[in-house]
Copies of this chain bind each other. A is one copy, B any other.
Amino acid sequence: MEYNVFAKACPSRPTLEHVTGRWGSLTMGALVNGPLRFNELRRRVDGVSEKMLSQTLQALERDGLVHRDAQPTNPPRVDYTLTPLGQETAELLLALIHHLEARMPDVLQAQQAYDAR
C-alpha cells in the first residue's frame, strides 16, 4: 500500500496537517529538547490558547507522535514527550524552521519588492 499526501482522501493528509498545522509545528518543535508540562508548553508556544494547545496535543497523541504521561498526584502533573517517531518527525520539522529563520532577511526583502510593485 502506497500513501500519497497529494491525494485528497489519503489518511496521511490529516496527519500532515496535524504536524504542520498552525500550532502542531510549534508544539512539536517545542518538545524536541525534552519533556514539557502543559503550562510550560503554553509559555513556549507564544500565543496559543489553552483550548488549542489541548486539541493539538490530543491529535498528536492520537497519531502516536506525542506521549502523555499523567501522574495521579494532587496537584496533577502531566509531562508531554515526543515518541521516537515524533522525535524523528520533529527534527525534520526543525530543519525546516531553522532554514526559514536563517533566510528571513531574503524573505523580507522579497516581500518589500513585491509590495512595491
Would you call A5 and B88 a contact (CB within 8 A)?
no
Q: Of residues A2, A4, A25, A44, which shows the largest number of chain B Cβ atoms within 10 Å of its Cβ? A: A25
Beyond A47-B8, A110-B63, whether A3 also contacts B96 by CB under 8 A is: no
Q: Of residues A29, A102, A104, A113, which shows the largest number of chain B Cβ atoms within 10 Å of its Cβ? A: A104
CB 8 Å contact bits of A99-110 with B (1 = contact, 0 = none): 111111011111
**Closest Cβ of chain B: how far from A2's Cβ, in Å?**
8
State the A residues within 8 Å of B (CB): 2-8, 11-12, 15-17, 19-22, 25-26, 29-30, 44-47, 61-65, 85, 88-89, 92-93, 95-97, 99-104, 106-111, 113-115
